Amino acid sequence: MIKPKALKEGDNVAIIAPSSAIKKENIKIVEKSVKSLNLNPVLLPSCSMREGHLAGPDSQRAKDVNDAFKDNSIDGIFCIRGGYGTPRIINKIDYEVVKNNPKIFLGYSDITGLHLAFNSICRMTTLHGPMPSSDSPYYETDEYTLNSLKRALFTNKPLGKYTPPEGEELEVVNSGKCQGEIVGGNLSLLTAALGTKYEINTKGKILFIEEVGELNYIIDRMLMSLDLNNKFKDCAGILLGTWNKCKPDEGYEDKIDSPLSKIFDDILGKYDIPILNNFRAGHITPQFTIPF
């Protein structure tokens, strides 16, 4: 894997919007958020654009990604937010440019689409962590989240043992030991990439999965899609993240969704690999920044 150089105070960080748009009045919050890390934010055009549910046209959002990697004055790249949009631009990315100009790349949620591409095609490490326009700007976020993010951004040393936030202990689905690269991200995006050249490779790797705002039976369906594609059979272990606002379907009187614990046990528990739940990363705070 290509490991981009760590950032240092005063570095220029490109802010891009490869997915959904943000409100114009929130741009100042983004700038203040990045400056609170003693970094210099450089907002690219997509940050102030909107086209339907997207932050500008596909061509512009892809251009911003390419330009951010190509520009030698840019030291790192932060995605402004998730939402939806990366599947529409991944065929427009210049992966040779990315591979030849590795940089810290940060985001989560819909940004999973770019994590998958950069990890597999470019063999470049990326960071799954909080974005500057999330619900908790860096200058307001909790100490756990901020310290985890800073360790990932400003040092290339191993991050060491994971210590969960207070009161959020890991849950054992299957016990055991394993080692390997961590890959993964948002479950919806992992499922959407199946059958494409960006499909996740889990063989010998530790697979991280998280989701937000989905009904339990839909999570069951997406996990089964991964299972039918042998993504659990070949991996070394599984880290189940957080499942914020995921709940049983209550739309029909005669429909009773299984709890997530049973879904995990049914689909994943049959594999003789270590599996942990409640790894605090994804659509929550406090959250841990994961190097993929």
Catalytic residue, from 109, 133, 134, 148: name it: 109
Q: Give the integer Cα–Cα distance in Å for 145 and 50.
A: 29
| Peptide bond before residue 286 is cis, with ω within 30 degrees of 0 | yes
Residue 53 among the catalytic residues: no
Distance CA 56, CA 186 (A): 23
Based on the residue annotation, tell me whether 115 is a catalytic residue of this protein.
no
How many CB atoms are located within 10 Å of the residue 72 CB? Answer: 8
The yes-or-no answer on residue 283 being catalytic is: yes
CA distance 59 to 281: 30
Rounded to the nearest 5°, which phi and psi values hold at 150? -65, -40
Residue 230 burial (10 A CB sphere; 0-12, 13-18, 19+):
exposed
Name the catalytic one among 20, 128, 210, 214.
210
Cβ(19)–Cβ(84) under 8 Å?
yes
Can you tell me whether residue 109 is helix, strand or coil? helix
Query: Cα–Cα distance between 42 and 1 in angstroms, integer?
Result: 27
- Active-site residue among 115, 188, 214, 283? 283
CA 96 to mean position of chain CA atoms:
22
Structure tokens at 241: 């993240």
Which residue in 72, 65, 61 sits closest to 5, CA to CA? Answer: 72
Rounded distance between C-alpha atoms, residue 24 and residue 48, angstroms: 6
At 250 the three-state DSSP class reads coil
By annotation, the residues acting in catalysis are: 109, 210, 283
